Amino acid sequence: MTIDLAQFHDTFFEESFELLDSMEAALLKLDIGAPDSELINTIFRVAHSIKGGSATFGFSEIASFTHSLETLLDELRTGRMQVTLAMSDILLKSVDVMRAMLRAVQAKQPIDQQRVSDLQFDLELMIVQKNAAEAVTAAEAAAPAVLPASAAPCASLPSATVAQAQAAPLADAPAAHWKISFRPYRELFARGNDPLRMMRELADLGQLIVNADVDALPSLAKLEPQECHLAWTLELHGSVAEEAIRQVFEWTEGDCELQIIRVESPAAWSDEATADAILSTLAAEATSPQAPAAAAPAELPAVEPSAQVSPAAVAKYEAPPKAEATVATLGDSGSIRVSVEKIDELMNTVGELVITQAMLSQLGTMIEGSTAEKLRAGLGQLERNMRELQESVMRVRMLPISFVFSRFPRMVRDLAQRLGKHIELKLTGEQTELDKTVLEKIGDPLVHLVRNSIDHGIESPEVRAAAGKPAFGTVHLDACHRGGNIAVEVSDDGAGLDKDRILAKARARGLVGPTDLLTDEQVHDLIFLPGFSTAEKTTDVSGRGVGMDVVRRNVKELGGKIELRTERGKGSRFIITLPLTLAIVDGQSVAVGSETYIVPLISIVESMQLRSSNVSRLSGRGEVFSFRGDYLPIIRLHELYGVEPRTRNLHEGLVVVAEGDGRRVGLFVDDLLGQQQVVIKSLEANYGHVEGVSGATILGDGSVALILDVPGIIRAASLRAAA
Amino acid sequence: VESVALKDGLLALLESPAPVTLEINAVQRIDTAGMQLLTAFVRERESQGRQVRWRGSAPALSAAAALLGLAAVLRLPDQAP
C-alpha cells in the first residue's frame, strides 16, 4: 500500500513554522552562560521534530541541516558545550535558514544552497572546535556585550566546568549516567506493555536503580487491575547509548510520559550506597537455575520477539520524542486546527441567525392574544442565547496579540545590535485577544513604530549617560481592552519628538506658513504626512519618510485611530485604538426620509440641533456651521444619497458631527434612531464598491441599511468643494 | 483476567483483622499489573496497622519486585540472591 505523503505536507509546514516560532522564542529567553535546561530541551525537540518530518517527506536538505543543528544542540543539552553569545547567534541564524528552506520547499522553489551550507559548516565547525569554542567564550565575555546579562555569567564560568567539558569525550562517557522518568498512562497495560519487561531490558544494558512512585496508587477496592497507576524514576549507569534506551520504550509511544536525561557525574559510581538496589545481578537471577525452569521462558515469549524484530534504527530513534511532543501539545493547549473559512462560514450563519431573530422579535411585538406573552418570553430567551452564541463564535476568531508581539524580541535584539544601542523590550498584555484579521494587519504598523522608537527614539548609550538616563533604553509594547476597543501602545523612554525641528522642517517644505502657530497636536500630525522625515541621515532602518503615513492609513483602514503623546527628552507614546473585530460595528442608526443609515460610532464626535444663526453659506463652498470656534461644512445625506427627506430645513433636523481623514463635517439627517451593534455585510462581495458606503447590514425588520464610510464621504465632499 | 481474580482474592483478605500470610511458593510468573495489586494490598493493610506476611519463596516475585522498585514497599522476605 502506498500513501501519498504530499497530503500531509501542508500540516508539516504549518507545524514546522509554529515550531520554529517557539524555538526562536525559547532561544531569545535563553540566558547566556546559565541556560534553563527546559528551554534547551524545547529547542532540541523543535530541531528533532523538523528533522524527523523532513526526513519522512524526503526533504533531504532540511533533514541534513537539522541533523547538524541537532548534534550541536545535543552538546548543549548534555552540558558538554555552553551557551555563548556566538552560539545563540548561530542558532538564531539557523532558525532563519530553516524557515527559508521550508518556505522554499513549500513554494517548490530552489533552496539557497550557499547560505545553508555556509551555516551548516559553521554549525559543524562549532562542534569540531568545541575546545577552541571554550576559549572563544572567554573572549566573548570580555568583548562589549549588547544584551543584558550576556557577559557576566560567561566570565564567571567556573573553570572546573570548562575543564570537565573539555575532558568529556564525544562518545558517552563512562562517568555519565542516564536519568529516566517513566510515567505511564493508565492504558499502558491494556496496550500490551509490561514495565517489568522493560525494566529487565534496561537492567541488561547497565546498572539500573529503580525508584517506584506508588503515591498515585488508589485503594485496592478502587484499583482497576488493568490500569497502571505506578510511575518510575530510573537511573541507568554504564556506557549506554540513548538510542538503546529509547528502543526499550519504543512500544510505549503515546502511552506514557518519558524523559531521558543525561547526567554528568564526575564522582565515581559508588557501590555501597546503592548496592542493594543494583539490579543487573537480580535480573540475571530471574533466569538463573534457582528459578523454576519454566518460569522465565513462559513469561517471555510474547515479549522477546518484539525486541528482536525491530524496525530500522532511524524510525526507532524518531518515535519516542514524537510521543513526548504530542503529549506536550495535548497538555499545553488541547486545541484543534480549524481553517479560517470554516469559522467565517460559521460567523456568516450566526449573522443571518441574528437577523432572523431580530425579525422574529419585531413580529412578536405585533402579536396579541393569550399566547403572545409566552411567545415574547421565548423570544427574549432566544435573543440572549443568540447574543451568547455570537460572542462565542467571535471569540473563536480571536487570537492573543502575543502572535504579533512574539516577533519583536528577535527584531529588537538584531536592531539594537546593529545600531549599537542598549535596549530592553517590555511586553505586557500579550494575552489580550483580538480578531485574526485585525491581528494580521496590525503587525506591520507595529513593526514600523518599534523600529522608529529604536532608531529615532532611543538615544545611543553615550547620549543617554550624558542625559542622566539609564544606559538601557526601554521600548514598551502594551495591549489592553478599553471599552469595546483594543488599545495597543508603543512607548519608549528615548528623546521624544523635537517639536521645533519638525516645525522647521515643515516650514522649509512649505507645509506650514512661516508665521503659522500650531498646537502640539497639529505638530504631531505633521509626522503622519507622506514623505515627512526629520532624520538627518537615512539609515537602512528608517528615515526615508515612508512610514508614519502608511502606519496611519493602515490603522484607519482597520477602523482604528492613532494618537501620539511625546515629551522632549522623556520619550514618546503611540497609542493605537482598534475595534475588536471587523465583522461587527457599533453604529448609530439615523433616519433620512424613509431610509435608515448606520454611522459607525467611532466616527461620531457628537450630535446636535442647529440654530439657523449658526449656519452660514459661503459662496462656492456650500453651507458651513460654527462648531466650537470652527466652521465645519454641512453634508446633507439626503442629497448625497438622493432620497426624499422629511425636512430640508436645517434647524428641523439634526447634525451629526463626524470625524474622518483628520477632518470634521456635519452630516445632516432627519433624526437619530438608536445605537446598536450591526453585523457588517460586504457590499463588494455581493454587489460592488459604492463611494461613501463601507457596507450594509440587515435591520430587525428585514430592511437593508447602508453603513456610512465617513472618511470616504469627507474625501468626496472636499473633492467636490475643490472642483 | 488473572489479575481480576487476584484482586478479588486480595479484597476478600483486606479487612481481615488477623495477620494475613500469603503463600508465594507457587508463584511462577507475575506481571506489573499483579505487582501493582500486591503493592496496593500491602500498602493499605499497613496503613490500617495490619500485617502481611509472606511464606515460601518465589524468585520470579522477588525479581519483579526488585526490577520495579517495589521490594521495599512489599517487604518481601530476604532471599539469597
Q: Which among A534, A614, A503, A602 has a CA at the least distance from the CA of A562?
A: A602
Name A424's bridge partners. A474
**Contact residues on chain A for B14, CB-CB shorter than 8 A:** 220-221
Residue A570 predicted with pLDDT over 50? yes
What per-residue confidence (pLDDT) applies to A45? 83
DSSP designation for A459: P
The C-alpha cell of A395 is what? 471569540
The C-alpha cell of A154 is what? 560567561
When pLDDT is cut at 50, 70 and 90, the band that residue A476 belongs to is very high
CA–chain centroid gap for A696, Å, is 32
DSSP designation for A406: T
Task: State how far the Cα of A580 lies from the Cα of A480, in Å rounded to an integer.
Answer: 11
Q: In what order do the strands lie in the sheet with A561-567?
A: A423-428, A473-482, A485-492, A571-579, A561-567
Task: State how far the Cα of A126 lies from the Cα of A84, in Å rounded to an integer.
Answer: 11
When pLDDT is cut at 50, 70 and 90, the band that residue A81 belongs to is confident
When pLDDT is cut at 50, 70 and 90, the band that residue A4 belongs to is low
Q: With contact defined as beta carbons under 8 Å apart, do A76 and A91 qualify? A: no
Contact B70 A194 (CB under 8 A): no
Contact A203 B67 (CB under 8 A): yes
- Arithmetic mean of pLDDT over chain A: 75
Mapped onto helix, strand or coil, the DSSP state of residue A88 is: helix
The C-alpha cell of A3 is what? 500513501
Establish if B40 touches chain A: CB-CB under 8 angstroms.
yes
**Contact residues on chain B for A229, CB-CB shorter than 8 A:** 36
Phi, psi of A278 (to 5 degrees): -70, 125
**Ramachandran region of residue A337, left (φ > 0), alpha (ψ -120 to 50) or beta?**
beta
Q: In what order do the strands lie in the sheet with A630-636?
A: A604-608, A654-660, A663-669, A630-636, A622-627, A615-618
Mutation site, B32, B50, B61, interface A, largest A CB count within 10 A:
B32
Write the pLDDT tens digit of every residue in A92-134.
888 888 888 888 888 888 888 888 888 888 888 777 776 454 4
Phi, psi of A539 (to 5 degrees): -100, 175
Contact A291 B60 (CB under 8 A): yes
pTM of the shown model? 0.46
Contact A210 B66 (CB under 8 A): yes
Q: With contact defined as beta carbons under 8 Å apart, do A707 and A590 qualify? A: no
Q: Which residue has the cell 424613509?
A: A594
Task: State how far the Cα of A558 lies from the Cα of A32, in Å rounded to an integer.
Answer: 41
Write the pLDDT tens digit of every residue in A484-541.
678 899 999 888 887 888 888 888 877 777 777 777 777 887 888 776 765 554 454 5
Chain A residues with at least one Cβ partner in B under 8 Å: 189, 194-196, 199-200, 203, 208, 210-212, 214, 217-221, 223, 225-226, 228-230, 232, 279, 281-283, 285-286, 288, 290-292, 294-296, 298-299
Mapped onto helix, strand or coil, the DSSP state of residue A81 is: coil
Q: Which residue has the cell 486545541?
A: A335
Q: Which of residues 55-74 of B touch A (CB under 8 A)?
A: 59-60, 62-64, 66-70, 73
Quick one: angle between helices A85-106 and A113-128, nearest 10?
A: 150
Q: Which among A254, A316, A329 has a CA at the least distance from the CA of A15?
A: A329
Residue B22 predicted with pLDDT over 50? yes
Mapped onto helix, strand or coil, the DSSP state of residue A289 is: coil
How confident is the model over A387-400, as a mean pLDDT?
A: 83
Q: Which among A662, A663, A699, A660 has a CA at the least distance from the CA of A679?
A: A699
When pLDDT is cut at 50, 70 and 90, the band that residue A288 belongs to is very low
What is each CA distance from A714 to A97, A218, A600, A622, A694, in whole angstroms? 48, 73, 14, 14, 13
Task: State how far the Cα of A712 lies from the Cα of A661, in Å rounded to an integer.
Answer: 8
When pLDDT is cut at 50, 70 and 90, the band that residue A151 belongs to is very low
The C-alpha cell of A612 is what? 439657523
Based on its alpha-carbon atoms, the radius of gyration of chain A, rounded to whole angstroms, reads 34
Q: With contact defined as beta carbons under 8 Å apart, do A599 and A587 qualify? A: yes
Task: State how far the Cα of A207 lies from the Cα of A111, in Å rounded to an integer.
Answer: 47
Residue A72 predicted with pLDDT over 60? yes
How confident is the model over A599-606, as a mean pLDDT?
A: 87
Task: State how far the Cα of B19 lies from the Cα of B9, in Å rounded to an integer.
Answer: 15
Question: Can you give A526-549 as a three-state secondary structure string?
Answer: HCCCCCCCCCCCCCCCCCCCCCHH
Q: Which of A130-139, A218-227, A330-339, A542-551 has the highest mean pLDDT?
A: A218-227
Quick one: angle between helices A85-106 and A9-29, nearest 10?
A: 160
Nearest-CA distance A291 → chain B (Å): 6
Q: Which residue in A199, A223, A283 is closest to B40 by CB distance?
A: A223
Q: Which residue in A194, A195, A294 is closest to B28 by CB distance?
A: A294
DSSP designation for A31: P
Write the pLDDT tens digit of every residue in A293-316.
333 333 333 333 333 333 333 333
Burial string for A63-92 (b: 16+ CB within 10 Å, else e) reads: bbbbbbbbebbbbbbbbbbbbbbbbbebbb
What per-residue confidence (pLDDT) applies to A617? 83
Contact B32 A203 (CB under 8 A): no
> Which residues, 6 or more positions from A203, have their beta carbon under 8 angstroms from its beta carbon?
A279, A280, A282, A283, B67
Q: Which among A656, A653, A655 has a CA at the least distance from the CA of A645?
A: A653
CA–chain centroid gap for A630, Å, is 45
**Contact residues on chain A for B66, CB-CB shorter than 8 A:** 210, 279, 282
Contact A282 B66 (CB under 8 A): yes
Q: With contact defined as beta carbons under 8 Å apart, do A16 and A57 qualify? A: no
What per-residue confidence (pLDDT) applies to A291? 37
What is each CA distance from A584 to A361, A367, A589, in whole angstroms? 20, 30, 14
When pLDDT is cut at 50, 70 and 90, the band that residue A284 belongs to is very low
Task: State how far the Cα of A465 lies from the Cα of A154, in Å rounded to an integer.
Answer: 26
